[in-house]
Amino acid sequence: MARSRRFEMDMTVGALLPKVLLFSLPLIASSILQLLFNAADMVVVGQWAGPEPLAAVGSTGSLINLMVNVFMGLSVGGSVVIAKAYGAHDPEAVHKGVHTSMTLALIAGILVAVVGFVFCRPLLQLMDNPELELATLYMQIYFLGMPANMVYNFGAAILRAVGDTRRPLIYLFIAGVVNVVLNLIMVIVFHLSVSGVAVATVVSQIVSAVLVVTCLIRTTGGVHLDIKSLRIHKRQLGEILRVGLPAGLQGSLFSISNVLIQSSVNSFGSIVVAANSAAGNLEGFVYTSMNAIHQAALTFGSQNLGAGRIDRVKRSMWVCLGTVTVIGIVMGNLFYLAGAPLLSLYNNNAQVIHYGLIRMAYILPLYFLCGLMDVIVGTLRGIGYAIMPMIVSLTGACLFRVVWIYTIFAADPTLDTLYISYPISWGLTFAVHMLCYAFIARKKLNGYLKA
pLDDT recorded at residue 2: 44
Q: In sequence order, which ranges of 188-307 are alpha helices (DSSP H)? A: 193-218, 234-266, 270-306
Q: Could you give the CA distance from residue 239 to residue 68 in angstroms, rounded to a whole number?
A: 20
Helix (H) or strand (E) holding 371: helix 368-382
**Helix then strand then coil, % of the chain, to nearest 5:** 85, 0, 15
Q: Cα(24)–Cα(9) distance, rounded to whole angstroms?
A: 12
pLDDT at 1: 40
Report in angstroms the alpha-carbon separations of 5 from 12, 55, 122, 191, 292: 15, 45, 48, 46, 22
| pTM attached to this predicted model | 0.76
Provide the 8-state DSSP code for 267.
Answer: T
Residues 92-147 pLDDT 10s:
999 999 999 999 999 999 999 999 999 999 988 887 777 788 889 989 999 999 99
Gap between the Cα atoms of 223 and 215, Å rounded: 10
Q: Do 119 and 63 meet the contact criterion of CB atoms below 8 Å apart? A: no
Q: How far apart are CA 78 and CA 100, in angstroms?
A: 8
- Consecutive 10-residue averages of pLDDT for the chain (451 residues): 61 86 86 69 72 71 74 87 90 94 96 93 83 87 94 94 89 88 86 85 94 93 90 94 83 70 81 86 89 89 85 90 96 94 88 93 95 92 84 84 90 91 92 89 58 42
**Under 8 Å between Cβ of 59 and 129:** yes
Output the pLDDT for position 40. 67
Neighbouring C-alpha atoms within 13 Å toward the C-beta of 200: 29
* Cβ-contact 94, 222 below 8 angstroms: yes
Phi, psi of 134 (to 5 degrees): -65, -40
